[in-house]
């Protein structure tokens, strides 16, 4: 089992030289995010991820979560790690200091969260869901609800869960049947939820369920859903956990991966109704829940990046020690380590380039969130919000698909040993495979991208991205150097086909939505490739500038240039191949009758 080491140098480079953490730290409320503090947090988080979380990853996969006597029990190593996590204050990084948070940027919090997810995705899911719950209550909770729940959730003493799915209501939440009936100042919630990540566990002393349910007089569909806080333990006046609420776990799922992340079936109201507290106004629950869902979608995309990084590190280190076959350059000499073979190099670079591109995409989205929340200029906030909304389905969709691809390549690099569980390579693939499914399948993300994000402004947000990225390509082309010129050519070609695809989709949205839906997944992949290439191109510009400075780390910086060129030469050309499926693919997608399948 090869250990995990957080890529702090690359994280720091992306934050400082690509995303621009200095402009984020200058926003009102982020004054504490000094360069020294940012560096310290990254270094200390890397130590915690490598020393505490990474060693329990395989243990969690082997032992898993256990359901006994109506309760969920986590591995002992997870309980110990979580206690250390809470005591160190890691849960509080991006949250409001009024409730015990550190008030630091989400862009920094995403870098830290990547380390948790890479070290142990099963562990990282608990703080990830809690993070979204805190964000939701911060935005939509009443003053009393904030006072009751936020400080304990921000500290991590209590955790939060997102209770949406029911047996008949997966992605179509308009069919939710869970009911809530008013009983004085509270509501009695009854029904069942399934697939609830960390819906029950023994890491935190209380679980704050955020539950979608329907009032008796609610209109049909998604407009008739309300949101309720349903704590596992009711809260005493002094803030301590009190009486057990009428919500019970009736079982947990047996899964392909993330086996130490309990996926619970929850039953509400077996003994009269679980006590719930409505959030905001009736029938606006789904609207409020999107604060948590969009936070989770970005975090799930970040999981794709994290797993890709973990799988890459393991494959890279294995390739450096596995001796197999002779070097084509020196065929008369003894066999060499497999990292010397061109095809293995191709696989490793494919892993490395995509992981680094995904990191930039995810951190960019987090920076857009910071700007949208805190920039003093309204126009800047609006532009950042539009960019965030555009990036969200791309980060969630492209990065999670990429995570699966990279984890699969990691197994291939290991050869037959990759198929053996003891190496750990297979676990990364099994863990990664859930990410394209949950928080809205990637097909749903693709539909969101074309129908909502393109449809609402006729592609104006995409045009803003194209204009910005053309400027990057032009700057690359204007500098000397073969690598920069090649990156500029590849990026320009990608921008051309992305613009063509966008124009066709915008023109076709209203007259033929089925045709648009048939090509939506291809468009999301195309956009991810171009956006990933654009991020690496910005990194190449920064690396080229830094190489001109005295004392530059030439090895690291030339690696950035070559990685960006590899992406431009090997991966960006795939975008052009997606144009035909986008504009013509519908002709066959819907052609067969059901009987012909």
Residues labelled catalytic? 439
Which residue from 41, 74, 165, 43 is spatially nearest to 439, judged by alpha carbons?
165
**Cα–Cα distance for residue pair 577/588, rounded to 1 Å:** 17
**Cα–Cα distance for residue pair 57/117, rounded to 1 Å:** 10
Per the CB < 8 A criterion, the answer to whether 187 and 62 are in contact is no
Which residue from 19, 9, 226 is spatially nearest to 108, judged by alpha carbons?
19
**Cα–Cα distance for residue pair 165/348, rounded to 1 Å:** 38
**Cα–Cα distance for residue pair 584/83, rounded to 1 Å:** 54
**Cα–Cα distance for residue pair 371/255, rounded to 1 Å:** 38
DSSP code per residue over 493-560:
HHHHHHHHHHHHHHHHTTT-HHHHHHHHHHHHHHHHHHHHHHHHHHHHHHHHHHHTSTT--HHHHHHH
**Cα–Cα distance for residue pair 434/240, rounded to 1 Å:** 35
Backbone φ and ψ for 87, nearest 5 degrees, come out as: -65, -30
What Rg value do the Cα atoms of the chain yield, rounded?
24
Angle, alpha carbons 167-287-258 (nearest 5°): 45
Per the CB < 8 A criterion, the answer to whether 1 and 58 are in contact is yes
**Cα–Cα distance for residue pair 543/223, rounded to 1 Å:** 50
**Cα–Cα distance for residue pair 409/428, rounded to 1 Å:** 11
* Beta-bridge partners for 160: 208
Per the CB < 8 A criterion, the answer to whether 89 and 48 are in contact is no
**Cα–Cα distance for residue pair 412/149, rounded to 1 Å:** 46
**Cα–Cα distance for residue pair 349/341, rounded to 1 Å:** 12
b/e string for 37-67 if b means 16 or more Cβ within 10 A? Answer: ebeebbeebbebbbebbbbbbebbbebbbeb
């Amino acid at each position: 089992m090869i250990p995990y080491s957080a890529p702090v140098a690359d994280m720091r480079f992306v934050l400082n030289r690509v995303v621009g953490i200095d402009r984020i730290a200058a926003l009102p409320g982020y004054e504490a995010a000094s360069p020294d503090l940012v560096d310290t947090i990254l270094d200390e988080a890397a130590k915690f991820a490598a020393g505490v979380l990474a060693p329990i990853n395989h243990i969690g996969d082997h032992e898993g979560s256990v359901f006994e006597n109506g309760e969920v029990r986590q591995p002992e190593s997870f309980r110990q790690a979580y206690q250390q996590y809470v005591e160190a204050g890691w849960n509080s990084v991006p949250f409001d200091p009024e409730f015990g948070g550190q008030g630091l940027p989400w862009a920094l919090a995403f870098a830290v969260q990547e380390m948790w997810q890479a070290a142990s995705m099963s562990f990282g899911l608990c703080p990830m869901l809690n993070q979204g719950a805190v964000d939701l209550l911060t935005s939509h909770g009443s003053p009393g609800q904030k006072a009751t729940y936020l400080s304990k959730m921000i500290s991590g003493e209590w955790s939060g869960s997102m209770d949406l799915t029911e047996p008949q209501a997966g992605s179509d939440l308009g069919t939710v049947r869970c009911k809530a009936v008013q009983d004085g100042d509270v509501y009695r919630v009854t029904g069942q939820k399934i697939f609830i990540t960390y819906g029950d566990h023994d890491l935190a002393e209380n679980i704050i369920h955020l539950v979608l349910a329907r009032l008796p007089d609610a209109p049909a569909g998604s407009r008739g859903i309300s949101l309720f806080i349903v704590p596992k333990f009711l809260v005493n006046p002094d803030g301590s956990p009190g009486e057990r609420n009428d919500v019970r776990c009736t079982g947990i799922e047996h899964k392909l991966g993330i086996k130490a992340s309990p996926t619970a079936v929850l039953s509400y109201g077996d003994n009269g109704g679980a006590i719930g507290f409505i959030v905001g106004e009736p029938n606006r629950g789904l609207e409020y829940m999107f604060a948590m869902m969009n936070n989770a979608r970005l975090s799930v995309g970040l999981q794709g990046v994290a797993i890709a990084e973990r799988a890459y590190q393991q494959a890279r280190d294995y390739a450096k020690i596995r001796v197999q076959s002779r070097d084509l350059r020196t065929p008369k000499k003894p066999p060499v380590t497999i990292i010397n073979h061109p095809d293995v190099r191709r696989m490793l670079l494919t892993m490395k380039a995509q992981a680094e591109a995904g990191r930039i995409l995810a951190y960019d989205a987090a920076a857009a969130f910071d700007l949208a929340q805190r920039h003093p200029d309204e126009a800047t906030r609006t532009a950042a919000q539009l960019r965030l909304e555009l990036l969200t389905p791309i980060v969630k969709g492209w990065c999670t698909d990429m995570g699966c691809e990279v984890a699969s390549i990691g197994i291939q690099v290991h050869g037959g040993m990759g198929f053996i569980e003891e190496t750990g390579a297979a676990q990364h693939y099994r863990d990664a495979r859930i990410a394209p499914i949950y928080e809205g399948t990637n097909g749903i993300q693709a539909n969101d991208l074309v129908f909502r994000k393109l449809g609402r402004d006729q592609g104006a947000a995409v045009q803003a991205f194209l204009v910005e990225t053309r400027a990057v390509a032009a700057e690359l082309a204007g500098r000397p150097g073969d690598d920069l010129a090649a990156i500029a050519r590849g990026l320009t070609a990608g921008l051309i086909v992305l613009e063509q695809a966008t124009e066709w989709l915008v023109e076709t949205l209203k007259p033929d939505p089925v045709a648009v839906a048939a090509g939506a997944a291809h468009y999301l992949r195309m956009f991810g490739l171009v956006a990933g290439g654009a991020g690496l191109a910005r990194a190449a510009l920064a690396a080229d500038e830094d190489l001109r400075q005295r004392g530059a780390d030439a090895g690291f910086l030339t690696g950035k240039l070559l990685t960006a060129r590899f992406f431009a030469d090997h991966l960006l050309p795939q975008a052009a191949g997606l144009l035909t499926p986008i504009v013509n693919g519908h002709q066959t997608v819907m052609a067969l009758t059901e009987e012909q399948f």
